[in-house]
Amino acid sequence: MSGFFGSISKTSCVHDIFYGTDYHSHLGTKRAGIVVYSPEKGFQRAIHSLEDGYFRNKFESELNEYSGNQGIGVISDTEPQPILVSTHMGRFAVATVSRIANIAELEERYLKQRRTFSELSHGTINATELVAMLIAEGETVTSGVENVYEHVKGTCSMLILLEDCIVAARDRLGRTPIVIGKKEGAYGVAFESCAFPNLNFELEKFLGPGEIVRITADGCEQLRKPMEEMQVCAFLWVYFGYPPSFYEGVNVDACRFRCGAALARNDTTEADFVAGVPDSGIGHAYGYSSARGVPLMRPYVKYTPTWPRSFMPQSQQMRDLVAKMKLIPNESVIKGKRGIFLDDSIVRGTQLKDNIRDLHLAGMKEVHMRIACPPLTYPCEFLNFSRSRSSMDLATHIAVKELEGTDETDLSEYSDPCNGKYHAMVEQIRRRLGLTTLRYQKLCDLVDAIGLPKEKLCTHCWDGSSHF
Ligand code: SF4
């Protein structure tokens, strides 16, 4: 996914950039970068790989080298960034949360103009460098950002660090969030509002879709009004987001609680305990347990002293080993018991299948799975994921292929819980995973749990309803 943080202050911003960016670490596993600006030293930038270490370990030893009152930081799940450029409107640094579906087309357009790309990595151009080039085509930063909105097919939210301000620009359809925080003598800007409380920022404003603001230590000026149309990613609340964060004023954990409670409605399955699949199933499990009065327990516990988060090892074999080693089953909770497990979603189901097999091996009598969102039937075309989401990888597609004998089937009927085909698909997934029962959230209940109008949410994962 990726996430970013920026701050501009009357005093040094380095401490805030360091910790504020760190609070976005759950959004990316590839690279991180920070840029700080001071009139004396100019732009000071560092980018490190996160594939073998945490953001804090990578940047801590060099923090004393930075000085300045304004800066931005990014946790990137894809390309190295922020990108620093010198343009007709001055020097600036840019960090993005983006997925540019037409990147090849835009690359070709620039190459035909005999322009060059300097930040090649993994055999492709750097998407953030491309965004910097599109911004630089504008007369002003605002028109440059509008140029990005006009040409990028996909998603692009940006933080631009100039010599006298930070410009924050939220994606044209607002698929990813930007939120502004304020404290005495400083402003902050973030993807995750959970970056604010420990840095003493108070939440000031959620940017609307396509809104652009100019931020200084003294205030926040609107450069472009928000658009009416919005397609904020509903999956933020289900899985990506960090529990204390708010998007559009709706708290992630409170939404997960409501999701769990909605799954509990009309569910009469007898069980000895309810459990959340760590980590993002836990909030949903609180809601379910509370609504049904079934005790919340921990059949397995993550070994946090050495596995505080998932690195993304290169090989699938190593990924499977890491996933297994970090969760320790507790036989006293499991043996001979019937458990209801809450998980955010089922993507491929490979890991879940292994977990369920391990639960059975540990003596679990019944494993009932409740999923906080509907079956994922359409791959996301709008955001970058580290979790594989090619359509043929999805558990739903595998199940339908097994039922129909072809991978050419139109999945619209299979997405409709009123259609028998939906139930056949869910049953096929249940069988393949070795579950006692399996139920998914209905889309209308998920939308109710978020509390925003359906037309303001991207729910494309489940109903294929969104567009570029
Ligand atoms: S397709 Fe799914 S993951 Fe992608 S933006 Fe829409 S809701 Fe979010």
Domains of the chain and any CATH numbers: 3-230 (3.60.20.10), 252-463 (3.40.50.2020)
Among 191, 383, 391, residue to substitute to test ligand 1 (most atoms within 8 Å of Cβ): 383
User: CB under 8 Å to 294, separation ≥6 — which residues?
Assistant: 271, 272, 273, 274, 288, 340
Nearest protein CA to atom 1 of ligand 1, as residue: 380
pTM for the full predicted model: 0.95
Q: Is 153 exposed, middle or buried (0-12, 13-18, 19+ CB in 10 A)?
A: middle
Residues 409-413: contacts with CB within 8 Å, 24+ apart?
Answer: 411/377, 411/378, 411/464, 412/464
Distance of CA 383 to the CA centre of its chain: 8
380 touches ligand 1 (CB under 6 Å): yes
What is the CA angle 233-178-158, rounded to 5? Answer: 100
235 touches ligand 1 (CB under 6 Å): yes
461 touches ligand 1 (CB under 6 Å): yes
230 touches ligand 1 (CB under 6 Å): no
Task: Give the distance (Å) from ligand 1 centre to CA of residue 77.
Answer: 16
233 touches ligand 1 (CB under 6 Å): yes
Q: Which of 35, 94, 93 is nearest to 65 (CA)?
A: 35
SS3 271: coil
Tell me whether the omega of the peptide bond preceding residue 279 falls within 30 degrees of 0, making it cis: yes
What are 130's two structure tokens? Answer: 């491309």
Among 230, 247, 458, 459, residue to substitute to test ligand 1 (most atoms within 8 Å of Cβ): 458
Residues of 100-117 as b/e, b for ≥16 C-beta within 10 angstroms?
Answer: beebeebbeeeeeeeeee
Task: Give the distance (Å) from ligand 1 centre to CA of residue 251.
Answer: 18
* CA 132 – CA 148 distance, rounded (Å): 9
Per residue of the chain (468 residues), give pLDDT as tens: 899 999 999 999 999 999 999 999 999 989 999 999 999 999 999 999 998 888 999 999 999 999 999 999 999 999 999 999 999 999 999 999 999 999 999 999 999 999 999 888 778 899 999 999 999 999 999 999 999 999 999 999 999 999 999 999 999 999 999 999 999 999 999 999 999 999 999 999 999 999 999 999 999 999 999 999 999 999 999 999 999 999 999 999 999 999 999 999 989 999 999 999 988 899 999 999 999 999 999 998 888 777 655 555 666 777 777 778 888 899 999 999 999 999 999 998 988 898 899 999 999 999 999 999 999 999 899 998 655 556 778 999 999 999 999 888 888 889 999 999 999 999 999 999 999 999 999 999 999 999 999 999 999 999 999 988
What are 2's two structure tokens? Answer: 């990726």
Task: Give the distance (Å) from ligand 1 centre to CA of residue 28.
Answer: 16
Nearest protein CA to atom 5 of ligand 1, as residue: 233
Phi/psi at 290 (nearest 5 deg)?
Answer: -65, -40
